[in-house]
Structure 1
Amino acid sequence: MTAPAPVASTIPRPRTIVTADPELDDLNSMIRFLLYSNELEIEGLIYASSRFHWRGDGAGTSFFLPDREYDEPQTSWRWAPGERFIDDAVDAYAQAHANLVVHDPRFPSPERLRSVIREGNVDFEGDTSAETPGSRLIADVLLDDRPGPVFLQLWAGPSTVARALRSIEERFRDTPDWEAVHATVSAKAVITKFASQDGTFDDYIAPVWPGIRVLEVATLAWGYMARWTIPAAQHGLLSAEWMRENVTSVGPLGALYRVWGDGRQMVPGDMTDYFHPSGVSADDLRAQGYKVWIDPQPAGEWISEGDSTNMLNLLVPSLRGHEHPSYGGWGGRYEPTSEGADTWGLTDAAFHPDGADLANGPGGDEGSVVRWFADAQADFAARLRWSVTRRFEDANHHPVLAIEQGIDHGVEAGGEVRLSALVDDPDGDIVRVRWWIYDDAGTTDAALAAVDGPETTVYVPAGANPGDTIHVIAEASDDAAGYPLKSYQRVIVTVTGA
């Protein structure tokens, strides 16, 4: 039995380019990312540098900046010879691909993914002195004739994206087309970044391209400090038992995923990477020369997917979290910042990219991210099961959910709109529909006639103002044993004038 055409095939898939450096959390995020490649148009997978990882030029040139983890100039920093962690992840995906397409034929071929792997500006931190294959790919995508947005995910430093934008500037700056090109590219590119891991964002991108939308997606919830923000009741999703059952024992992609005490280092001998030993205390590690900044956890437990918030709002297009930063989705909800004309930060951030002291714990609860964590983990586990399941009927799949009346409505103040969920399940499971109002995403109060069942009515308050919005989430959950799944639809009700 083969997969039916998925309902999401009618929804435009977000276009995206990932730039990543060889940190173990980048590898883990890449594994998750590839398991959602059916939901995305992946235009680039690019090796990039940062203040934490750079290759060097191979000519013995030394590089030094103060206030780093090292005291002497280095010819490379935390970069393995022949680094290929992105290629490794795609190779593991290739082993699973024949199974994945049984469950959704939109999963791209390994050859398609390999065709967009490039090396970016990796020689030194913040080096934009020359074009690279990665920077040229980014520039070509930003200049193509397809409309935006294109989500540029900065899991590493911004230098490769900065070089791409600089190349566009150099090509057009002294031509009559510059103003139009600058406006078009600015409107097309959307940058998501886990902090500015080199100086090129502040030095070049922000002042020269101020019209580009930028989201600061740094969180604790998906990173090394996840235990600080994930509710204690969900810590089981970080446990060695859960990871072993649902991730590390599940096929080639799961086997590649990094956990505490797994005996592997990204770069052998890296004294800042102390996640591989098992049963060793922080003091013991320090005595061995490791730079320990967070206590070791039991072998087999979650380490980090620090960069996953770059992608999470793209992975469920029907939740519409990628349409606007204020909407919110798996990757959290964002609000304007004072950093620029179109810059956004997490509404309830606990992580502070400016280096604020976290010694006494986080300063925010990251609730707009954390509320989705269990759903995202369950979905990840189900997709890993797809990667090892050869027959469609032997795995669980998402319920098919649509809204009969459509997902955008204009309603006068004091009015109402009826909504009907059309639900099916490809596996024949019983599906429960739940409705809820995402209050934080909207701008006025509202009420629902029902919160359970296939139908509800949204009652718009009489005092609502024209332009106010109400965000209604329809959530369909199947009752499959082991790996139940959810599908979503977001309905946006906008208050109109009389």
Structure 2
Amino acid sequence: MEMKRREFLNRAAWSATGALMVLGTGVGTAAHAFAAPEPGHRDGAGHDRHRPRVLVSTDIGGTDFDDFQSMVHLLLYADRLDIEGLVSSPYGPGTKADILRVVDAYEHDYRNLKTYSPHYPSPGRLRAISKQGAFDTATSAGFGEPTEGSRWIVKCARRSDSRPLNVLVWGGIDDLAQALHDAPDILPKLRVYYIGGPNKLWAVDAYNYIETHHPELRIIESNATYRGFFTGGDQTGEWGNEAFVEQHIAGHGALGDFFAAQSAQVKMGDTPSVLWYLNGAQDPVQPSWGGQYVRVWDGRKTVFNRLTTARDTAEVYGVVEFALKVPEGYSARNTARMMIDNRTAGPFPAAVNEGRVLRFRFSPRDPKVWPYVIQSDHPDLDGLSGAITATPPSAERAGTPSTMHPYWWTDDQDPAFAESPWVGAKHVSRWRLEYLSEFATRMDRCKVPAS
């Protein structure tokens, strides 16, 4: 096993070096949009300028265990990044306390980690930059009141530092939407890597606000590509999702044991956003461990003015709105919401009364049929039902870059790069042995100090 591991570590080192040499030649809109500053300089705060500034917004402790795993991975690479913020955001019951649980494990391993690099931040530093964001998803407007987390995003973005602020969104995009609403001047400083898909379902109103009011945001919207981290690729032997945890994570310091306690298998769906800054030139059209993307296209929102059936289609990962006529007698005292796909735990798109229509909004997170039923205290609405079928965009539409979103990138729709049905996922899974080999070496740092 050790010989095989060294072989893949060598491959990873060659791949990283080769990729940087090739990707560094990228020019044009993509390269400029995500370019890093010249290495070897420091800003006024003494930070190494070659390390990217990173702020993570996470729904850790919410509906899925994988944010805990991705946070462990992030902290193991904290010497490669200039982490400026860890923000607890929707959806679900998670809070800042869940971030601090991972920091507590990091503190146990910090003595060993810092022998490998002086750039590992102290546990105290990580606690100081951990902030509480919104507890609930945004209103239909896409924003609400400022939070500690949204204010921290604004503060970091406004710092006197020539480097962009890279915001990695692992959950709801609500705190970023609030920050942009409160301080639109920060937009040119931001580079966003958004793990969408299910997170877009939870936070569709905040997403809709950003997409319509800040179309020039520089953003990668990874709705399916990220799934390549745990789907596809070589999963034989020690590289399987369960075998990797057993052999390379469990028993590797406090962080390894914390990781394994969350699940006996690798998921880490948010980790491609971190890999993006560890391998590659941050050019969306070029290969990288964090994926490879294409310009987004127009026409991703579908609006229906009636109830629909499964014969009606809308774009998967797009925004769907139902603008239904307000029934007679419906007043401000009435409420209505949609239960989507029999999801009894929500989220429930709530009706917004616009005078003549009630508007419901959601985002289909998978390519399939999505049934819905309206729940209301108004008898003419309660029990109304329907369905839509979420489908991929046509090749013609997906191949025509948006005229409204010049710096917005999303999943490659080419079937050759899909881990069916997840489009673009092979752009991540193809590197599985490389990034897992590197991760295994990082986990070893938790066990023993540098010699």
Superposition TM-score, scaled by structure 1 size:
0.54
* Alpha-carbon distance in structure 2 between the residues aligned to 1:212 and 1:220: 20
User: Which range moves more in the overlay, 205-214 or 7-16?
Assistant: 7-16
* Alpha-carbon distance in structure 2 between the residues aligned to 1:235 and 1:348: 31
Secondary structure, counterpart of 1:335 in structure 2: strand
* Alpha-carbon distance in structure 2 between the residues aligned to 1:106 and 1:343: 32
Partner AA of 2:165 in structure 1 = V
Whether 1:43 aligns to 2:84 is yes
Whether 1:199 aligns to 2:204 is yes
- In 2, are the aligned partners of 1:219 and 1:306 still within 8 Å (CA)? no
Match of 1:28 in 2: 69
Cα distance 1:142–1:367, how it changes in 2: closer, same or farther (>3 A)?
Answer: same
Match of 1:444 in 2: none
The correspondence for 2:408, drawn from 329, 333, 343, is 343
What does the per-residue CA deviation read over 1:69-99, in whole Å, with 9 as the maximum and x for residues that have no partner?
Answer: xxxxxxxxxx16x762210111111111111
Partner AA of 1:98 in structure 2 = R
- Aligned-pair distance for 1:151? 1.1
Whether 1:312 aligns to 2:275 is yes
Cα distance 1:203–1:96, how it changes in 2: closer, same or farther (>3 A)?
Answer: same
* Alpha-carbon distance in structure 1 between the residues aligned to 2:153 and 2:291: 26
Equivalent residue runs for 1:187-226 within 5 Å: 187-195=188-196, 196=200, 197-219=202-224, 222=227, 226=230
Whether 1:153 aligns to 2:168 is yes
- In 1, are the aligned partners of 2:151 and 2:179 still within 8 Å (CA)? yes
The correspondence for 1:168, drawn from 169, 183, 193, is 183
The correspondence for 1:382, drawn from 404, 420, 441, is 441
Structure 2 unaligned blocks of 5 or more: 1-16, 18-37, 41-48, 299-404
**RMSD over aligned Cα atoms:** 2.9
* Alpha-carbon distance in structure 1 between the residues aligned to 2:81 and 2:96: 25
What does the per-residue CA deviation read over 1:379-407, in whole Å, with 9 as the maximum and x for residues that have no partner?
Answer: 111111112212x22xxxxxxxxxxxxxx
Partner AA of 1:215 in structure 2 = I
Match of 1:301 in 2: 265
The correspondence for 1:119, drawn from 132, 157, 167, is 132
Whether 1:93 aligns to 2:95 is no
Whether 1:250 aligns to 2:214 is no
> Relative to total residues, which structure has the larger helix share, 1 or 2?
2
Match of 2:6 in 1: none
- Aligned-pair distance for 1:217? 2.0
Equivalent residue runs for 1:454-465 within 5 Å: none
What does the per-residue CA deviation read over 1:112-132, in whole Å, with 9 as the maximum and x for residues that have no partner?
Answer: 111100000113455732111
- In 1, are the aligned partners of 2:225 and 2:428 still within 8 Å (CA)? no
* Alpha-carbon distance in structure 2 between the residues aligned to 1:31 and 1:363: 25
**Larger RCO, structure (CA 8 Å, separation 6 or more):** 2
* Alpha-carbon distance in structure 2 between the residues aligned to 1:191 and 1:221: 14
Match of 1:107 in 2: 120
- In 1, are the aligned partners of 2:88 and 2:96 still within 8 Å (CA)? no
Secondary structure, counterpart of 1:108 in structure 2: coil
- Aligned-pair distance for 1:221? 5.7
Superposition TM-score, scaled by structure 2 size:
0.59
What does the per-residue CA deviation read over 1:411-470, in whole Å, with 9 as the maximum and x for residues that have no partner?
Answer: xxxxxxxxxxxxxxxxxxxxxxxxxxxxxxxxxxxxxxxxxxxxxxxxxxxxxxxxxxxx
* Alpha-carbon distance in structure 2 between the residues aligned to 1:349 and 1:28: 30
What does the per-residue CA deviation read over 1:133-178, in whole Å, with 9 as the maximum and x for residues that have no partner?
Answer: 1010001112222124211111011110111111114xxxxxxxxx
* Alpha-carbon distance in structure 2 between the residues aligned to 1:365 and 1:210: 23
Secondary structure, counterpart of 1:37 in structure 2: coil
Secondary structure, counterpart of 2:410 in structure 1: strand
Match of 1:18 in 2: 56
Secondary structure, counterpart of 2:136 in structure 1: coil
Structure 1 unaligned blocks of 5 or more: 1-6, 54-78, 170-180, 265-275, 277-299, 353-357, 394-498
Secondary structure, counterpart of 1:39 in structure 2: coil
Equivalent residue runs for 1:227-376 within 5 Å: 227=231, 229-232=232-235, 234=236, 236-258=238-260, 300-302=264-266, 304-316=267-279, 319-320=280-281, 322=282, 324-339=283-298, 340-347=405-412, 361-362=420-421, 364=423, 366-376=425-435
Secondary structure, counterpart of 1:134 in structure 2: helix
- In 1, are the aligned partners of 2:216 and 2:408 still within 8 Å (CA)? no
Aligned residues: 291
- In 1, are the aligned partners of 2:134 and 2:149 still within 8 Å (CA)? yes
* Alpha-carbon distance in structure 2 between the residues aligned to 1:123 and 1:201: 11
* Alpha-carbon distance in structure 2 between the residues aligned to 1:345 and 1:250: 35
- In 1, are the aligned partners of 2:289 and 2:435 still within 8 Å (CA)? yes
User: Which range moves more in the overlay, 243-252 or 140-149?
Assistant: 140-149
Partner AA of 1:90 in structure 2 = V
Partner AA of 1:102 in structure 2 = T
Partner AA of 1:156 in structure 2 = G
User: Which range moves more in the overlay, 113-122 or 213-222?
Assistant: 213-222
